[in-house]
Amino acid sequence: MTRTRKLLTHLATALAILALVAVASALFLGLHRAEPATEPAAVVPPVVAAPAPPVHVTPAPAKRVAAPTRIEVPAIGVDEKLTGRGLKADGSLDTPDFGKAAWYSPGPRPGEPGGAVVVAHVHGPDGPDVFWDLATLRPGDTIRVHRPGAVATFVVDRVEDVPKEQLPYDRIWPDTGRSLLRLITCGGQRTAAGYPDNTIVFAHLVGTAN
């Protein structure tokens, strides 16, 4: 199995775990919320039966930027520390704890060429979680990712709800020299079976301040 195929498979598995854990915790506590006019989409359960399609993940540059430490999304009130999550002994992705956000350390770091990925729960044992309002972001909203000695600013291009069977791997990790960012969480209307969609925020780097 190629490194690209492994990255895609591990990400799909991790996002499915995020979705199922969020649903289980909500059902256990009987947490409900009023239906808004437009329901904010939630996070990702991409349980993919077929193997992930082969796509190119931009390799890390020879000189890497520092690992990210914090993410800010002012439009939805997110200001969280970031931890890197890699692979467990069984090969699955180590998903973030509730109330935390994590960047996908096997892939590019925010500010490097290619698509960097940040994931978080949409719902947890105490109710709405870090990415609860992710689907309300709009083009032009800003995302700031801090790392030692620098802050990288990204601008939202678009927000999509994607059926879990159609996770766009080629757009999460495109073959490009541009620095991109993807925020991912479970999406769609929650049912007893879980979340049917992924909410994905696509953004690009507009500047880095020291």
DSSP 35: P
* pLDDT tens per residue across span 155-188: 999 999 999 888 898 999 998 999 999 999 998 8
Q: Answer yes or no: are the C-beta atoms of 182 and 176 closer than 8 Å.
A: no
Per-residue pLDDT, averaged over 65-86, amounts to 96
Is the model more confident about 115 or about 18?
115
Q: Say what the pLDDT of residue 198 is.
A: 87
* pLDDT tens per residue across span 16-63: 556 555 544 444 334 344 444 445 545 545 544 445 454 445 555 557
Domains present along the chain, CATH in parentheses:
3-49+64-209 (2.40.260.10)
Q: Answer yes or no: are the C-beta atoms of 137 and 110 closer than 8 Å.
A: no
Among 3-7, 95-99, 121-125, 129-133, which stretch is predicted with the lowest mean pLDDT? Answer: 3-7
Q: Is 175 in a helix, a strand, or coil? A: coil
* C-alpha to C-alpha distance for 196 and 147, rounded to whole angstroms: 34
pLDDT band at 137 (very low <50, low <70, confident <90, very high): very high
Q: Say what the pLDDT of residue 48 is.
A: 46
Among 57-61, 99-103, 113-117, 163-167, which stretch is predicted with the lowest mean pLDDT? Answer: 57-61
Q: Say what the pLDDT of residue 55 is.
A: 46
